[in-house]
Amino acid sequence: MATDIEIFHDAGGTSPVTSENPLTAEPDVGSAAAGQQKWVGSIVDGIKHRRKTLPGTNQLQLSVADASGASGLAVTDVRFALTEAGLPSATWGAPLNLGVEILSGVANLVPYWYQVKDSAAAVAQYADLSFVIIDVRDDPV
């Protein structure tokens, strides 16, 4: 079984990230300091999401996975922050702690910001990176 946790395009949890509606970034377009805000959680009823290992103690973490290794973009081309103001000082490639527990429901969606580096990557559309939350355990509240 998978986890019900997911990333949404909005605070209301109405538009989940899917392969047809993925997270996007155009790092060389627009304001260099601009990031994008998304929300993490679930909209099912009565669930608490925790880390499978040491639940309630270990942090749920949002991190970047690289499917292509040496080619494409790198994990360090992305940085996260819980606030827009925190982006400039965030470490590229560092995972983001989301808390030791996320309760389900719209009101409990955790907002976060992400930014993709305006690097010297070749002109192309890259899909080798993904945002992952691993080792998630869903328990009834």
Partner 1 sequence: MPYTPPAGNAVDFSFQGEAAYTAPAGNAIDFSFAASGVSAVIADGYTPADALIGKHGVAAAIADSYIPSGAQVARHGISATVADSYVPLDAISASFGLEFIATIADGYVPVDAIVASHGIAAVVADSFAPADALVASRGVSAVVVDAYTPADGLVAVHVVAVAIADSYTPADAIAAQHTNLLTELPSALDNYSAPLVVTVSQSGDYSAPLVVDVDYPSGDYSAPLVVTVTQSGNYSAPLVVSVLGTSKRWRDKVLLAGVDVSARITGEVMDEQNEGAAHIASFTLLPASGSINPYSYVGAAVTIDHIRIESTGEIALRRFTGKVHIPQYNPVDRTITFTCTDDLQNRCAALDRATLDHITGGRYSTGVQGEQENNWAYAQARMETVAGSLDAGRDGGLRVTNWDGLPVWKTFDLTNTIEGSIGQELPQRGNLINRIDATFEYRFSRLHRRTCNLRYEGDMAVIAANALPLLAQATVEAALESTGWEFFYGDGFGGSSGAGSALFAAGGEPVTPRINYVPYPEVYNLPGGAIWYQNETDTTCLGFQAGMYKRWAQSVTETYTLTVLAPESITQNGEIRREERGSLASEWDASAWENDRRAAPVLNSGDWYQTQDYAPDAGTAARDAAIQTLVDLCVVKIKGTHRSGRAWATTLMDTSIDVSRAIRINTTKVKATGKVVKVRNVSNSDKDAGYATTEFHIAPSGHGGIGLPEVTPTPNTPPDAPVAAAPASTVRSLFGQSLGMHVGGLASSQMPQDPDWRGWIVNVQGSLNVSDPGSDAPIINAETQKTERVLVNDPYSGGTLNPMYVAANAYHNTGFRAVMPAIEDDTRDNIAPAVTKTYEVPISADELELAA
What minimum distance in Å lies between the beta carbon of 72 and partner 1? Answer: 9
Question: Applying CB under 8 A, does 107 fall inside the site for partner 1?
Answer: yes
Contact 108, 49 (CB under 8 A): no
8-state DSSP, 2: -
- Whole-number Å distance between alpha carbons of 40 and 13: 9
Question: Applying CB under 8 A, does 101 fall inside the site for partner 1?
Answer: no
Of 10 and 91, nearer to partner 1 (C-beta) is 10
Please give the size of the binding site for partner 1, defined by CB under 8 A: 60
- Closest alpha carbon to 62 in 27, 20, 102, 15: 102
Residues 17-56 that bind partner 1 (CB under 8 A): 17-31, 33-34, 52
What minimum distance in Å lies between the beta carbon of 97 and partner 1? Answer: 16
- Whole-number Å distance between alpha carbons of 75 and 49: 25
38-to-16, 45, 52, 105, 128 alpha-carbon distances in Å: 10, 21, 23, 15, 19
Of 113 and 131, nearer to partner 1 (C-beta) is 131
Question: Applying CB under 8 A, does 4 fall inside the site for partner 1?
Answer: yes
Using CB under 8 A, list all residues that contact partner 1. 1-15, 17-31, 33-34, 52, 64-65, 73, 77-78, 106-107, 116, 121-127, 129-140
